[in-house]
Structure 1
Amino acid sequence: MKSKLRRSWKFAHKLISTSVATALLAITPLQQAQACTGITLQAQDGAYIFARTQEWGTFDLRSRVTIIPRNYALQTTLEDGKKGVGWKTKYGVVGLDVVEKDYLIDGMNEKGLTVNLFYQEGYTEYAKYDPSKAATSIPVLALAPYLLSNFQSIDEVRAAMAKLNVIGVRVEAIGGVPPVHLMVTDHTGKAVVIEFTNGITKLHDAPLGIVTNGPNYDWHINNLLNYTSLDVPLPHRKADDIKSLKFGAGARLFGLPGDLTSPSRFLRAAAYASTARKTVDGPETMYEAFRILDNFNLTVGTAAAEGGGEVNQEGMRSSTIWTTAYDTKNLVLQYHTQHNRRIRQLDFKTVNFDAKEVVRIPLDREKAQDIEYLNPSNSSQNIMSLAGGWSAAEVDQLAMDAANFAVSKDSSSAKLKRIIEVKKQVVKGANYFINYELDDGSVWDAIVYRDLTGEFSLKQSAKR
């Protein structure tokens, strides 16, 4: 695919990240329910998984999997037209973009470094742009790809951040500068949260690997100490003790806040991650991460999640647009979306990072739930489901067209002889279960989906 980056990263970006922070509970009596949640889990074989939810309440972010190759030149352009930080990518990167533009909300590079952006409204203040420092200035929207394509460890990220002037960007889609902070993790499990406070860049160690939104990260850590069962009396608890936090289980979690505000989600995420079951390897730990993050999914609506710009919720099923998990040891991305909870996977071993252009892959080939259909009369094939909604249907022209489509996808040269049975399920479009015979005597079952435009796609096919 052709890249729209074209060696120039424009300063006037549209929306790139996702989570509005909440105010301090003691200061703001009523908070909006807003946000994204991120957790880190470790497998017994040493694999670290970073996983997060991506919320946005006003419109579908239209995200894509984006692959940035090695040795690819990128150049930022600042608000006065001057060139900012420019670089040639050292490492290949896989991440998710938004609004079909070439900037990333989250991602991982081929060395296992991950970067994820989260909203932090009310607490973020970027440095003022100084034209005399243009060469070391970078728009916050370009920071994730910059870090991912250049560095492989937290120590390298720390050194790089000390040399950068990170500046804010007005985004017309949301009517202002998106206030974000970043969680960065590496393959050793080391992590930092990067925040911009009073014009100063601050890096906070994040040993638990938990992140939500505002207030500032150190406030969350101190607040967390109020909800632990440390044996040390409360006044003597220190943030340095965070690694030894012990949460109870079951009834002992009584009193843990259950609302959707950022401080409460941070507490629950820490509790759920701390009490997660032991997992042997990366794949099983990714499963556990998705299970935990299911607790943070939000319904559709601006009252449920942050969002800016014109409201257009047509086609949305959730304010949790998607959930991603990155295996920093095995270098694998997995995700599911608001439209399809089937896990999709991209293994870095299959990626050509020596390509010449950026590659983009839609998150959903079809915005419909992928369903496995079981056949009680033919358990070896597991092809037909008797789930609600299926009904007997006539062998009409649509059924014939669906059958012929299924046959066309078969590698054999046999032709359709007759349709034995048809069942139909009305979804967003229609699913056709077709039992048919070919002229070579073989009998097949197939599930064919017909969308609202009349296009067919083969869901499943099996020979009896």
Structure 2
Amino acid sequence: MCTSLTFQTTGGDQFLARTMDFGFELGGRPVVMPRQQHFSSVTTAAEFDTPYSFVGTGRNLNGYIFVDGVNEYGVSAAALYFSGQAHYPTEPVAGKLNLAPHEVLMWLLGNVKSAQELGDRLNEIAIVEAAAPLLNIVVPLHWIISDRSGATYVLEQEADGMHYMVNPVGVMTNTPDFNWHLKNLSNYLQLQPGPHVDRQYGDLTVKPFGPGTGAMGMPGDYTSPSRFVRTVFMRQYTDAVATDAEAVNALSHLLNSVEIPKGVKLQADGSSDYTQYRAYMSMHEPAFYIQPYADQTITRVGLTPELMVASQPTEFPLAPAQQFNRVN
């Protein structure tokens, strides 16, 4: 279960951020995939190339798997869980590039220059049932995609086919489907950043207790609908910022409201679903920032010209958790 959102500076620079909430330890780290890489799909004997370079959270499992990232043209994307509603064909589709759900993000980042181009090329691919390494399951996913222009979309595949939808609020979480989340916002029209006005009941004037009362009723739990509403509200009213550093800082605070500490959200088997990391993708630089659970230090990896033409992928292992700087 994860939360994602877009954010824009006053200068128009675009960011996509996400939490990675999962019970199984994924072990991802920043990886730069250089241009002109070749991938084999686990679905069939199909293969695909990625002419464009990208950077994101990856892991080499006899072949790299990415779950988020940004490419050299500023296209950014993140894969989020879509349990119970994702639906994929069980057999490869003739005439298409057949991809497993966990392979879509690599093809996307390696092949398109804009969110619009992705929409134009979706007829080239079929997302089919095939298990992901390490997890050994067909991972139910949907995707949020954004680019330097600010255009933001959601890609979902359900029983009635593939849907590529404009995302007007710049937020995505998990199940139910995206359109359900948009309709659910109608239940929270009373939310506002300022206090509510005094109310008169008979001869009694009822006053709000103080600042913050405008957000009374905002859901605070960790379910997908609640995280969606909370993030839409926070994103809408957070102060505008001018610089990249301020944007990453603002996004870190925004995601604080949905970060899941270990132990407070347990799965049926008793394992803890928690926020393993937060990622911030700068589309104009382009650059990738990661903030792991065990160490709140933010690590930045930029897509430099040297990394984009390297002979092989470049990994950036995260440093072990830092100790407190004691001053007394």
TM-score scaled to structure 2, two decimals?
0.87
Pick from 183, 188, 191: which aligns with 1:227?
A: 188
Q: Give the drift of 1:161.
A: 1.1
Q: Give the drift of 1:98.
A: 4.5
Q: Is the 8 A contact 1:211 1:266 kept in 2?
A: yes
Mapped partners of 2:267, 2:138: distance in 1? 14
2:171 is equivalent to residue 210 of structure 1:
yes
Q: Structure 1: which amino acid aligns with 2:297?
A: R
Q: Structure 1: which amino acid aligns with 2:234?
A: Y
Mapped partners of 1:152, 1:347: distance in 2? 18
2:262 is equivalent to residue 338 of structure 1:
no
Q: Give the drift of 1:369.
A: 2.6
2:313 is equivalent to residue 369 of structure 1:
no
- Look up the SS of the partner of 2:83 in the other structure: coil
Mapped partners of 2:268, 2:97: distance in 1? 31
The aligned counterpart of 2:208 is none
- Look up the SS of the partner of 1:103 in the other structure: strand
Report the CA distance shift for 1:369/1:149 in structure 2 as closer, same or farther (over 3 A): same
Q: Is the 8 A contact 2:92 2:128 kept in 1?
A: no
Pick from 152, 156, 161: which aligns with 1:200?
A: 161
- Stretches of structure 1 that go unaligned for 5 or more consecutive residues are 1-18, 20-35, 230-245, 374-384, 387-464
Identity of aligned residues (%): 23
2:282 is equivalent to residue 327 of structure 1:
yes
- Stretches of structure 2 that go unaligned for 5 or more consecutive residues are 195-211
The aligned counterpart of 2:199 is none
- Look up the SS of the partner of 2:55 in the other structure: strand
Q: Give the drift of 1:186.
A: 0.5
Q: Give the drift of 1:207.
A: 2.1
Q: Is the 8 A contact 1:127 1:200 kept in 2?
A: no
Deviation sequence 1:147-195 (CA, Å, 0-9, x none):
1011111110001112211112234755632111000110111111100
2:37 is equivalent to residue 37 of structure 1:
no
Report the CA distance shift for 1:172/1:350 in structure 2 as closer, same or farther (over 3 A): closer
Q: Is the 8 A contact 1:69 1:93 kept in 2?
A: yes
TM-score scaled to structure 1, two decimals?
0.63
Q: Give the drift of 1:247.
A: 3.9
**Alignment coverage as a number of residue pairs:** 310
Of structures 1 and 2, the larger Rg is shown by: 1
- Look up the SS of the partner of 1:83 in the other structure: coil
Mapped partners of 2:166, 2:99: distance in 1? 23
Q: Structure 2: which amino acid aligns with 1:42?
A: Q
Mapped partners of 2:229, 2:71: distance in 1? 29
Q: Structure 1: which amino acid aligns with 2:189?
A: T
2:123 is equivalent to residue 162 of structure 1:
yes
Deviation sequence 1:406-459 (CA, Å, 0-9, x none):
xxxxxxxxxxxxxxxxxxxxxxxxxxxxxxxxxxxxxxxxxxxxxxxxxxxxxx
Q: Structure 1: which amino acid aligns with 2:243?
A: D
Q: Is the 8 A contact 1:56 1:307 kept in 2?
A: no
Mapped partners of 1:131, 1:343: distance in 2? 42
Q: Is the 8 A contact 1:98 1:105 kept in 2?
A: no
The aligned counterpart of 2:32 is 67
2:228 is equivalent to residue 266 of structure 1:
yes
Q: Is the 8 A contact 1:56 1:321 kept in 2?
A: yes
2:16 is equivalent to residue 50 of structure 1:
yes
- Look up the SS of the partner of 2:80 in the other structure: strand
2:56 is equivalent to residue 95 of structure 1:
yes
Q: Give the drift of 1:344.
A: 1.1
Report the CA distance shift for 1:72/1:177 in structure 2 as closer, same or farther (over 3 A): closer
Report the CA distance shift for 1:64/1:307 in structure 2 as closer, same or farther (over 3 A): farther
Q: Is the 8 A contact 1:67 1:94 kept in 2?
A: yes
The aligned counterpart of 1:445 is none
Q: Is the 8 A contact 1:282 1:329 kept in 2?
A: no
Pick from 146, 150, 160: which aligns with 1:189?
A: 150
Q: Is the 8 A contact 2:14 2:284 kept in 1?
A: yes
Which deviates more, 166-175 or 105-114? Answer: 166-175
Q: Is the 8 A contact 2:56 2:70 kept in 1?
A: yes
Mapped partners of 1:105, 1:292: distance in 2? 21
Q: Is the 8 A contact 1:322 1:335 kept in 2?
A: yes
Deviation sequence 1:342-393 (CA, Å, 0-9, x none):
111112237521111112221x222x235445xxxxxxxxxxx11xxxxxxx
- Look up the SS of the partner of 2:67 in the other structure: strand
Report the CA distance shift for 1:348/1:299 in structure 2 as closer, same or farther (over 3 A): same
Q: Give the drift of 1:218.
A: 0.4
Q: Is the 8 A contact 1:334 1:344 kept in 2?
A: yes
Report the CA distance shift for 1:75/1:98 in structure 2 as closer, same or farther (over 3 A): closer
Q: Is the 8 A contact 1:85 1:138 kept in 2?
A: no
Mapped partners of 1:127, 1:192: distance in 2? 23
Q: Is the 8 A contact 1:104 1:145 kept in 2?
A: yes
Q: Structure 2: which amino acid aligns with 1:365?
A: A
Q: Give the drift of 1:296.
A: 1.4
Q: Is the 8 A contact 2:30 2:301 kept in 1?
A: no
Pick from 245, 248, 254: which aligns with 2:193?
A: 248
Pick from 137, 141, 150: which aligns with 2:102?
A: 141
Report the CA distance shift for 1:209/1:64 in structure 2 as closer, same or farther (over 3 A): same
Report the CA distance shift for 1:327/1:306 in structure 2 as closer, same or farther (over 3 A): farther
2:242 is equivalent to residue 280 of structure 1:
yes
Report the CA distance shift for 1:93/1:265 in structure 2 as closer, same or farther (over 3 A): same
The aligned counterpart of 2:260 is 298
